Every structure is written in C-alpha cells, then in structure tokens.
Amino acid sequence: MVSQKDSGYRKNFSLIVTFIGLISVVFILSLFLAFNFSKKNIENDFVSAKANVLEESIKPYNDFFLNKLPEISFYNGYLDSASASKFTDTILMQYPFVSRVTFYDTEVKNERYEDHGINLGDFAIGMKNVYQFGKSVHKDSVRLFGQNEAVKGAGLEDFNPVTLKLINFIQKLDTTKVPTQEDLFSNFTDIRHNRIDYFNIPSFEILKVYKRMISTKLETEPVYQQDMLSFELDPNKIKIKNTRPLLYQNIRIEPITYDPIDTTSEYITGEITLGGPFSDYKLYFTSSRDFVKKEIFSFFWPIAALLLLFYGVLVLVAFLIYRNLNINHKMFKLQYDFVTNLTHEFKTPVSVIKIAGNNIKSATSLSEKEQKLYGKILDEEADKLNGLMNKLLAFTQIENKAITLNKDSVTIEDFIESSLDAYALKYPDFEVSYEVSGFKTFITDPVLLGSLFDNLAENAYKYSPVNKKKLHITARMIKDRIVLRFRDEGIGIPSSEINNIFKKFYRIQNRYNQNGSVGLGLAFCKELVNFMNGEISVKSVVDKGTEFKIVLPYNN
C-alpha cells in the first residue's frame, strides 16, 4: 500500500516537473515573441513618429503663415517705410527662418501706368516705393526703388506674378456674392520656392470698385493704397524639434533630391517632405541600430517584467502544490507509522493476554503461584491497553477542547515525591532527583500535571543509554510564573529535528524508537501545556542530554 502511495506521489511530482518545464518553454518563447513585437513596434514608430517631428518643427511657420501674415491687412494698405520696418523687425526676431522681407508700397488707380505697373483696361496697379529689410541687408540697400528712380537691386521680379494673380481674381469676381476668407487668402497670397508674397486684403466694396475700374473710367478717378510684402525664407533656419530623442539620433534638413550612397545597414534612415514654400526640402532622419536598440529594450522590459511576474505566479502555484503534496506525503507516512506502531502496541498485550488465557484454559489445574503469575500478567497487560486508550482519548479531548480544567491546590514537593515513587516501581534503574524553590503550592489540574510529568519522565528514560538513565526536575517561581525544567543525560535531539518533535505522529528515526513509539508523547505534552495556558520549549545537545522547559501561570 505504501509503495503504491509513493508511486502516486512520484507521478504527481513528475507532473509538476513537466508543468514547470512546459511553462518555462512557453515563458522563453513569450520573451522571444515579446522582443520581436517590441522591435517591430519601434521600427513602425520610426516611420510614423516622423509626422510628429514635422508638425512640431513647422509650428512656428504655421503660426507665421496663418496668424502673422493676415495682420498686414489691418493696415489697409497704409504701411509706410517706418511702420513696415517695425512690423518686419518683429517678424525677423520671432521667426528666424524669415531671412529677408521686401516691402512693395503700391497703389491702385483708374489711370494707366506707363512704367513699373500692370494695366488691365482702366485698372492699374503699380509701385511707388520698394524697401528691403533683413539682418543681412546693408543700410544703403534698404530702399530699392522709388518713383522717378532706377532699380537698385533684385527683387522687383516678385511683384508681377502675385499682381497678375490678384488681377485674375478681380476679373473673375462675382460681385453678387461675398468671397470666402479662404478664397481671398489664397488669391492674395503666392507661395513659391523659399518665398511667400502677400497683398493686404481690401474690403468687398473696394474689390467691387476694382472690378468696375477694369471696364469703366470712373468720374472720381479713385486711388487706393495696397501693400505687398515678399518674405524670403531659409529652410535651414527652421528649428528642428526632436519629439522622440530616444528614437531619432540625428535629424537634419536636406534637399529633396538628397540620397546618400554611403549609408550602411548599421543605420536606419527615414525622410518626410517639409511642404509649402519648403517643398524642395525634407527632414532626414538617421539612427544607428545600437541606438534604436535602447528604445527597443525600454519598450521590451515592462512586457518582460509582466511575463516574468506571470511565470513567477505559475511557478509559485506549482511550488505550493508540490509543498502540499510533500506535506500530505509526510502526513500519510506519519499516519501509516502511527497505525503500524499503535497496532504493535495493542497487539503485544493482546497476544500476551491470549497466551495467558490459553494456558489457563488448557491447564487441568493451576497452583497458587501460577494463578498469581497469570493474574499479574493479565492485570499488567490490561493496564497497558487501558493506558494507551486513555492517552489517545485524552489527546483527542484536549486537542478538541472537550474537557475542562479541574483545578485544585497542589503541594509541589508532595506531588513530585509521589511521582518519583511511581517511577521507582516502574523503572527501578531510573535515577530521578528534584529541586524546588520560591513556592510551595499553586492551583492547577493535578491530573493533567501528572500526565505531563509522566510523559516527560518516560521520554527521558526511553531515550537515555543504560548507564545514564537520569532525570533532574527543578520547580521555581520566576516573576509570578511557575518554571519547570526536566533535564536528562540522554542521547539528545539533533538541531534539525527540534522544530518537528512537537508534531503529531512525528518520530525521530533512531535505534531507541524502532518499536513501541506512536509519536504522540511530546505532541500530547504540548497540547497539555497549551490547554493549561502555558508554554513549552526545548534545548538539546546530541550525546549530552535534553532539557524541557515548561512555564505555567501561578495561581494561588
């Protein structure tokens, strides 16, 4: 039966080992897949996060284009060189990518221009003055053109394209419908390579007058002021905002045609077009694979930690199952040994009683001596059976709190003396001495106290060599507590077994308890002491002896 049970436990342990091996393989595979997922995710981020870098980098340009340019219209065409200089100074300071601004002070009239203007019917738009502003512009070159003056420098070619665009819009204008702000902005703005030209936007009523001026000579011969600013942009002055510094090692602006031939497989590259006036340029991204690996691992470690936590939980569950199986296995073995020893304990007196009974039965006549002998044998063996059953019953009752303390006054010296007399009759070769100090009587249950003394004395006698069957008992009062010590000179208890000796059915494997030990003696003592609201402890040295210390409450 035991071998079958052991085989079952071995199978369970094999299943646990197999389970741990399986989850370990799954864990390693999960780590591999998690790393590949992290790598793929970061590579995808390398592609998708470029748009965020572009968006953040061109935010100043968008602010300039959508918010600052329309401010020109607030002047209603009445910008002069001073106000234009002040306006452009704020732009040059706020937007470093604006390198130069050309201001065209123009006017629209119902009279044709002979020079430096564009005419369509009786509609004419021409330049009065042209100024240039910028950090690199020399002070002598600020004014490029004035009425009745020659052109001093380049830049006048920017006037014609946007002016023709404006005239084309006026020519097609539907005077019955107010144009949208989007239509106005797109037709009064011209975006070219590294340049933006912008005319201030007049009111709808003025636009209708402009349209009439194309085909009609108005009596009032009106003259309107128009301001045009041409902004020269430098894409290399755009401040790149690297929103993913752990992903992009280097970002720079390159021409759209840039295609390096010396890029090796050790680098990951990407690009995205700037757009607008910078459409001939792109953001060029480069990162070494070792650099990107850091980001991959920063993404991978939290996943690995979760997988490790899950794996740890599974291993812990497997360990707890293993531990419970191991405990159950030990408990089964203890119970099996208990039943075996208990059977032996019962079988020996029963066999003796049966033999004595058979002898009495088969004898034709018994002498007085034989009658006394068989009577003594039957009486002793019956006492053994009764004592064993009483111990089992008492242990069960105490463990289940099924009995109550029957307290009485105990004179400690008389109690010990009576116990010693009983030991002398039972164990003639047992030397027992005692010492009492600090008190004479105390209140306790004398029956339970007697069981405690008997078990510890029997234990001392049983586990002592033939020539060292000695026990010294001390009873002292220490700080209102009764302290009892039972010190023998027996074989001692190994330190590895100290924590187990008070467990039920537990037996230390040695030659002194091969037979006749149930494994309840010290467990019974511990239950007794706990039931009496006390404490029990032990210290022992192998081959030197053992001392049990019992502390009980003092009631008097």
Over 50: is that where the pLDDT of 154 sits? Answer: no
**pTM for the complete prediction?**
0.59
SS3 389: helix
Q: What is the pLDDT of residue 234?
A: 94
- Rounded (10°) CA dihedral 354, 356, 361, 364: 160
Domain count, the chain: 3
**Rounded Cα distance, 125 and 202, in Å:** 14
Q: How many CB atoms within 10 Å of residue 209? A: 20
Is there a domain that residue 74 lies in? yes
Same structural domain, 141 and 261: no
Q: What is the pLDDT of residue 423?
A: 82
Maximum mean pLDDT: which of 33-42, 76-85, 441-450: 33-42
Same structural domain, 540 and 425: yes
- Give CA angle at 234 (230, 236), nearest 5°: 170
3-state secondary structure string across 186-234: HHCEEEECCEEEEECCCCHHHHHHHHHHHHCCCCCCCEEEEEEEEEEEC
Dump the DSSP string for 451-499: HHHHHHHHHHHHTS-GGG-EEEEEEEEETTEEEEEEEE-SS---GGGGG
Dihedral pair phi/psi, residue 175, rounded to 5°: -75, -5
Is there a domain that residue 505 lies in? yes
CB 336 within 8 A of CB 45: no
Same structural domain, 162 and 176: yes
CA distances from 423 to 45, 109, 429, 490 (A): 88, 139, 9, 17
Same structural domain, 74 and 206: yes
Q: Which of 173, 207, 234 delimits the end of a domain?
A: 234
Share of the chain above pLDDT 70, in %: 86
Same structural domain, 179 and 254: no
Residue 199's Cβ-count burial label (10 Å; 0-12, 13-18, 19+) is buried
Dihedral pair phi/psi, residue 428, rounded to 5°: -60, -30
> What is the arrangement of strands in the sheet containing 267-273, beginning at the earlier edge strand?
250-255, 281-288, 267-273
Same structural domain, 187 and 296: no
Same structural domain, 213 and 68: yes
The maximal CA–CA distance of the chain, rounded, in angstroms, is: 170
Dump the DSSP string for 390-406: HHHHHHHHHHTT-S---
Same structural domain, 158 and 225: yes
> For strand 431-437 and strand 470-478, is the pairing parallel, antiparallel, or unpaired?
parallel
Is there a domain that residue 318 lies in? no
Same structural domain, 279 and 426: no
Which comes out higher in pLDDT, residue 128 or 240? 240
Same structural domain, 157 and 207: yes
**Rounded Cα distance, 552 and 529, in Å:** 8
CB 229 within 8 A of CB 129: no
**Rounded Cα distance, 27 and 23, in Å:** 6
Q: How confident is the model at residue 355 (pLDDT cuts 50, 70, 90)?
A: confident
Tokens of 198: 């912008």
Same structural domain, 511 and 408: yes
Q: Note down the domain range covering 276.
A: 8-57+243-306
Q: What is the pLDDT of residue 451?
A: 84
Is there a domain that residue 334 lies in? no
CA distances from 162 to 79, 94, 155, 156, 417 (A): 18, 25, 13, 11, 128
Q: How confident is the model at residue 153 (pLDDT cuts 50, 70, 90)?
A: very low
- Rounded (10°) CA dihedral 453, 457, 463, 467: 160
Same structural domain, 84 and 16: no
Strand ranges, E, within 74-164: 98-109, 117-120, 123-133, 143-146
> Could you report the per-residue pLDDT of 451-493, keeping only the tens digit for each?
889 889 988 898 888 888 999 999 999 988 999 999 999 988 8
